[in-house]
Homo-oligomer: A and B are copies of this chain.
Amino acid sequence: MTRGTAGERVVLGDVARRAGVSVSTASRALAEDRRISAATRRAVREAATDLRYVPNATARSLRARRTRTLGLLLADLSDPVHGLVAAGFEEEAARSGYGVTFAAGQGDDARERRSLRLFAENAADGVAIASTLLDPTIARRLVPGGRVVIVQPDSPRLPRDRRTRVRGVIRTDDVAGMEAVAAHLVECGYRDVAYVGDGTRTSDVVRHRALERALKRGAPPLPVRWVPAPDAAWRAPEPVVAEIARSLPDVLVCFDDKLALSLLDALRARDLHVPDDVGVVGFDGIPFAEISNPRLTTVVTPAFEMGRRAAAILISAVQTGTMPEAETLPVALAVRESTRVRLAPAGEVAPGA
């Protein structure tokens, strides 16, 4: 028995020897190179199967100067939205034969930089960053080829308006989402609207402002109260609800579903009934928003699809060498049980007419 048949690692040389050809022929044969005769190709394939040959991607990557690996950095893997983004990212990457290595930043700047460095050392062909506070410019610097796509950027440094053109950014159309929310609130006859959010994150500011603007454009124009809720408020919503209860608004528009659902629970603990005492609107459309009690009215965002697009864009960037322009994915308002028509019964009464 030749070497390689035993416990030793089987390498291409072993396959070549068994097939009675040279290493280069074996290499080409396994790559289905047309220059190698069909017979030789089959012989090599068989030798490879017999020996249970597993190609060494490390050696291949070193030689080829590309790893067929994508890096994915996100804030928290256990978050439902991020889980969906990651799932979509992995699915698309796998479809194209790319591996995915991932890291969670946990909102810790040092950790995020360390992760990007790890991606760099491991020579990821591209990197996606989802919902982290990291400055995109810094992120691009930390990734050698600059092949970075940012999903739902939350850095305060990124231009907030829709006109500025950026490359390699994927976001949801939060403005349109909030416009739909505003229209729905008006339709329901809500007057005293409160927005609940932390007041600093980019996506929070974007959503908050979009809501304000849309409501200001109405007839009559409606103001929006702001109820501050720290970033982790969804883990301990009671203080926020206490603040809310001091002067109950008609409806609460929440930064995201996690917050909205936890508020639902905390409101119930205070015997405040949704939607009778107060309406609640979420943002994201996570699965549990569909089966909460009451079911949550929310803006459904395509989290899984964002992940897919991020991977697709990266792979295309790797292959073409140019990073596609920013994409904004559509969202949809799902009206459910946590909001309802308030004053007049639903009808032909044009609001403000």
Q: Which of A57, A78, A123 has the most CB of B within 10 A?
A: A78
Q: Does A84 contact B (CB under 8 A)?
A: yes
Are A101 and B104 neighbours in the complex by a CB distance under 8 Å? Answer: no
Name A121's contact: one of B55, B101, B104, B120 (CB within 8 Å).
B55
Q: A58-B122, A121-B56, A265-B291 are contacts. A103–B104 as well, Cβ < 8 Å?
A: no
Q: In the complex, which residues of chain B have a beta carbon less than 8 angstroms from the beta carbon of A82?
A: 83
Q: A58-B123, A122-B99, A292-B292 are contacts. A78–B69 as well, Cβ < 8 Å?
A: no
Query: In chain A, residues 93-126, which have Cβ atoms closer than 8 Å to a Cβ of chain B?
Result: 94, 99-104, 111, 114-115, 117-118, 120-123
Are B80 and A78 neighbours in the complex by a CB distance under 8 Å? Answer: yes
Q: In the complex, which residues of chain B have a beta carbon less than 8 angstroms from the beta carbon of A87?
A: 76-78, 104
Q: In the complex, which residues of chain B have a beta carbon less than 8 angstroms from the beta carbon of A102?
A: 90, 100-102
Q: In the complex, which residues of chain B have a beta carbon less than 8 angstroms from the beta carbon of A295?
A: 265
Q: What number of A residues sit within 8 Å (CB to CB) of B?
A: 53
State the Cβ distance, A15 to closest chain B Cβ, in Å: 14
How many identical subunits does the complex contain? Answer: 2
Name A91's contact: one of B69, B86, B104 (CB within 8 Å).
B104
State the Cβ distance, A58 to closest chain B Cβ, in Å: 5
Are A83 and B90 neighbours in the complex by a CB distance under 8 Å? Answer: no
Q: Does A158 contact B (CB under 8 A)?
A: no
Are B54 and A120 neighbours in the complex by a CB distance under 8 Å? Answer: yes
Q: Which B-chain residue is minimally distant from A82 (CB atoms)?
A: B83
Q: A104-B87, A115-B94, A291-B262 are contacts. A144–B54 as well, Cβ < 8 Å?
A: yes
Q: Does A268 contact B (CB under 8 A)?
A: yes
Q: Please report the C-alpha to C-alpha distance between residue A123 and residue B61 in the assembled complex, in whole angstroms.
A: 12
State the Cβ distance, A71 to closest chain B Cβ, in Å: 9
Q: In the complex, which residues of chain B have a beta carbon less than 8 angstroms from the beta carbon of A120?
A: 54
Are B78 and A99 neighbours in the complex by a CB distance under 8 Å? Answer: no
Q: In the complex, which residues of chain B have a beta carbon less than 8 angstroms from the beta carbon of A62?
A: 56, 58-59, 62
Q: Which of A54, A57, A111, A304 has the most CB of B within 10 A?
A: A57
Q: In the complex, which residues of chain B have a beta carbon less than 8 angstroms from the beta carbon of A291?
A: 261-262, 264-265
Query: In chain A, residues 58-82, which have Cβ atoms closer than 8 Å to a Cβ of chain B?
Result: 58-59, 61-62, 67, 69, 76-80, 82
Are B265 and A121 neighbours in the complex by a CB distance under 8 Å? Answer: no
Q: Does A293 contact B (CB under 8 A)?
A: yes
Q: In the complex, which residues of chain B have a beta carbon less than 8 angstroms from the beta carbon of A288?
A: 261, 288
Q: Does A216 contact B (CB under 8 A)?
A: no
Q: Which B-chain residue is minimally distant from A101 (CB atoms)?
A: B101
Q: A83-B79, A87-B77 are contacts. A101–B69 as well, Cβ < 8 Å?
A: yes
What are 16 inter-chain pairs, A to B, with CB distance below 8 A?
Answer: A58-B67, A58-B122, A58-B123, A69-B122, A76-B87, A78-B83, A78-B84, A78-B304, A80-B80, A94-B111, A94-B114, A99-B122, A261-B288, A262-B291, A265-B293, A265-B295
